[in-house]
Amino acid sequence: MADWWKGILKDIREKTAGMDREQKLAYIGTYYWYHILFAAVGLFLVVLLVRHLFFGEPPKEFTLVMVNQAIDFERDEKLAQDFGEAAGIDRERITVDSNYVFSYVGKQIEGANESSFDKFFFRLGGGELDGAIIPESFYRYCMELDYEFADLGAMLTSEQKSRCQDQLLEQGGACNGIYIEDTPLMAYLDQEADDPVILIFFEKEEHREADRMFLEFALGNAG
C-alpha cells in the first residue's frame, strides 16, 4: 500500500510539474479522484478497526430482557438509566431490551416476531442474560423445559423476605422469582389480569451482585 501510494504521488508530481496550484487541484480531481476515494475508505476501515479493538463498548455488568412487554426503547433507556444511577453502575454497562415479543405453547401473541423466541433462548444458552421480566405463563413454559432460575432467597435479606413474602414465587424449596405487581418496578411495565409479571434471574454467578442490586431496585430500596 505504501509503495502504491508513493507511486501515485510521484506520478502526480511529474505530470503537474508545470501547473499552478489551481490547475494541479483540477488535474488531481479529474484523474485521481478514485485513488483518493480508495485511500479514504482504507483509512476509515483502519480507524474503525482500531476503535473496535481498543475503544469498543465496555463489558456489560447487567443484561435484562422483557418478554411480551410493549416494545418501547425510550422506556428501556429510562429503566437502565434509573437503575444505573441507583446502583452506581455506569449506564453503558447495562442493557435493558424489550424487543422480545413472541408466542409459545399456551400463549399466542398476535403480530409476534417469532425470531425473538429463538434469539431469547440463543442468548440464554450463551450465558448472555442475567435477568428477565416475564409473564407467569412463560415462567411455567420454561419450567416445563427444565430451565433453572437463581434462588432469590440468597439475595434477599430477612427483612425483605418478610416484607414481600406474599410476592415470592417459591417452588421446590427455592424462590425462583418475585411477582412485581406491587413493587415500584411496576411503574415501567404492563401486565394482563390473568398473567402476572415476574422478575427472575438466571443461574449465572458472574454478575450475581448486579442481580442483587437490581432486585433491591425493584423493591424500592436500592442505593
Q: Domain locations in the chain?
A: 2-54, 62-219
Identify the band that residue 118 occupies on the pLDDT scale cut at 50, 70 and 90.
very high
More confident residue, 45 or 126: 126
- The mean per-residue pLDDT over the stretch 118-136 comes to 94
Q: Between 42 and 61, whose confidence is greater?
A: 61
pLDDT for 34 beyond 90? no
pLDDT band at residue 98 using 50, 70 and 90 as cut-offs:
very high
Q: Collapse the DSSP code of 147 into the 3-class scheme (helix H, G, I; strand E, B; otherwise coil) and give the result.
A: coil
At residue 20, the pLDDT reads 75
CB 149 within 8 A of CB 201: yes
C-alpha cell at 159: 427483612
Q: Give the global pTM.
A: 0.73
Predicted pLDDT of residue 110: 85
Over residues 154-212, the pLDDT tens digits come to 888 888 888 888 889 888 888 999 999 989 999 999 888 899 999 999 987 788 999 99
Strand partners, 202: 149
As beta bridge partners, residue 133 has 66, 199
Q: What is the pLDDT of residue 158?
A: 85
Instruction: Please give the average per-residue pLDDT across 72-89, as a whole number.
Output: 95
Mean pLDDT computed over 37-55? 64
Distance between CA atoms of residues 186 and 3, nearest Å? 64
**CATH number assigned to the domain covering 62-219:** 3.40.190.10
Judge whether 95 and 110 are in contact, CB under 8 Å: no
Q: What would the grid cell of residue 146 be?
A: 427444565
